[in-house]
Amino acid sequence: MQSNKKVLYACRYHVVWCPKYRRPVLVDDVRERLVEILHQEARDRHAEVLALDVMPDHVSLVVDADPQFGIHRLVKRLKARSSHDLRREFPHLRSRLPALWTHSYLVVTIGGARPATVRRYVAAQRHT
């Protein structure tokens, strides 16, 4: 459970999004930098990253987010900052893609699942 000044909450979401055209560009240094950016932006928005896996063609994130800020705002901020920073730091992303991310994403509420169970699920996705 987390809280802000007015609300005690446990809002956990599984969010998945892909690069434009599902291109496998999230590798090596880009992947490492993306992980750093997502953790920093989540901290800046008072959200907690419970699990994160970056595959070459998609991002799978489990996050505990403040319901008053809204998951849609959090995802928008994560995608915007990571796109801006990665395209600035890795010019090959600008030449291969008109935009880094697609406009769409998947959000699923986790409910009462334990964080360890969710982390195992996200980690297992790499092997399926």
Mean pLDDT of 45-66: 94
CATH code at 73?
3.30.70.1290
Q: Is the pLDDT of residue 122 over 90?
A: no
Cβ count within 10 A of residue 117: 11
Of the listed 9, 13, 105, 121, which one is catalytic?
121
For the chain, give the percent of residues with pLDDT over 90: 70
Domain holding 40, by residue range, is: 2-125
Evaluate the CA torsion angle 86, 88, 91, 94 in order and state its sign: positive
How many domains does the chain divide into? 1
Cα pseudo-dihedral 53, 59, 60, 62, rounded to 10:
90
Q: How many helices (H) and strands (E) does the chain have?
A: 4, 6
Residue 128: per-residue pLDDT: 59
Task: Write out pLDDT tens, residues 8-41.
Answer: 878 899 999 999 999 999 999 999 999 999 999 9
* Residue pLDDT, tens place only, 103-117: 999 999 987 777 778
What's the pLDDT at 118?
77
The confidence band for 124, taking pLDDT boundaries of 50, 70 and 90, is confident
Give the rounded distance of the alpha carbon of 70 from its chain centre.
14
Judge whether 121 counts as a catalytic residue: yes
